[in-house]
A = this chain, B = another copy of it.
Amino acid sequence: MTEPRTLTVDLGARSYPIIVGRDLVAGGFDIAPFLSGGACLVVSNETVAPLYMDPVVRLLGDRDVHTLQLPDGESFKTMATAQTVIDELVRMGANRDATLIALGGGVVGDITGFAAACYMRGVSFIQIPTTLLAQVDSSVGGKTGVNHEGGKNLIGAFHQPKLVLIDTATLSSLPDREFSAGLAEVIKHGAMSDAEYFSWLEKNMQALLQHDDVALAEAIFRSCEIKAAVVAEDERESGKRALLNFGHTFGHAIENSLGYGEWLHGEAVAVGMLMAAKLSDLSDKQQSRLRSLIQTAGLPIDPPPIGSEQLRKAMNLDKKASASALRFVLLSALGEAFVTSEYSEVLLSRILGSADA
């Protein structure tokens, strides 16, 4: 266990630390100060549990510890799965002083956090994210929830964890494709709000791809810092937090059109960022830097051939307000994003045209 680094998500009484380091789980990190005193339920999935459930249970010592394995995959991010977590809490006789521990990727974290938000109107939970995407994005900021047939994340709650424990060692078991998908959000953080970080990523992308410990810890820490700062300023996404959706208007439309699961979320966001960059008033050189970095990270740079009409339909569906214009997060420069509903319709049509077969 190397000396971990800590940053705080500053939300008054609901503030909590994000702790980043290697071998925190296997090395016996002292989790006790973050538990509420009652029973613990560690929720994981069938892929992650065989790898890390035992050491996490060991961290919890001689408490009343229960475990639950969910099926693996976004298609199980449903109310029905959240109810299996709640059913287990009921079966345990868990009280308000229970603590849920989410051990896995974004799906496990979102479901577990939502169950924690709803059980007895809110019990504690801890995030131990094991994918890069969850470590730099979904485990931070308190967004929890499940999907509805009518759309992603339509059912959920803002419920902040007591601790986000990021053990970079867990990334060794992550498939390359998923690792790259996580890098899409890392690149997003640089592109939307930190030009210096973007340059750092350009220099260190190879090291990241080789899972270099120092580079990994640095990227995760800086990405979490950026996200934590945005969340502290706008917890419930009434303003600035929307900037984190850079690449997501196009990205969601791609995911929705392909059917969720065909492309990974990060892959769709990668292409979405490039489409948003094209819609921005961004120099060719900066666009080209963004494209290169995305490509180097092992991510797609062109939309799948789903057709421009389908893409536009999916974008209109996503915004759910048929009367008003689409809203995009665009860049004025690398590192500077803004939200707007003013854009060139001609340019948008040309960009969507890149999805025509």
Contact = CB atoms under 8 A, between A and B. Distances in A.
A158 B159 CA distance: 11
A320 interface: yes
A118 interface: yes
A120 B320 CA distance: 12
A144 B155 CA distance: 15
A246 to B, nearest CB: 19
A94 B320 contact: yes
Q: How large is the interface on A (under 10, 10 to 19, 20 to 34, 35 or more residues)?
A: 20 to 34
Chain A contact surface mostly:
mixed
Nearest to A64: B323
A214 interface: no
A241 B151 CA distance: 37
A118 B79 CA distance: 11
Task: Count this chain's copies in the assembly.
Answer: 2
A285 interface: no
A153 B120 CA distance: 7
B121 A157 contact: yes
Contact of A155 (B119, B148, B150, B153): B119
A120 B157 CA distance: 8
Interface string A79-90: 100010011001
Interface string A143-184: 111001111011111100000000000000000000000000
A148 B95 contact: no
A93 to B, nearest CB: 5
Given A117-B157, A236-B122, A151 B83 contact: no
Given A86-B154, A118-B145, A119-B155, 19 more contacts: A38-B321, A79-B79, A87-B148, A90-B149, A90-B150, A91-B150, A93-B321, A95-B321, A118-B118, A120-B153, A120-B154, A121-B144, A121-B145, A121-B156, A121-B157, A121-B158, A121-B236, A122-B158, A122-B236
23 contacts: A79-B79, A86-B155, A87-B148, A87-B150, A90-B148, A90-B149, A90-B150, A93-B321, A93-B322, A95-B320, A95-B321, A118-B118, A118-B155, A118-B157, A119-B155, A120-B154, A121-B144, A121-B145, A121-B153, A121-B156, A121-B158, A121-B236, A122-B158
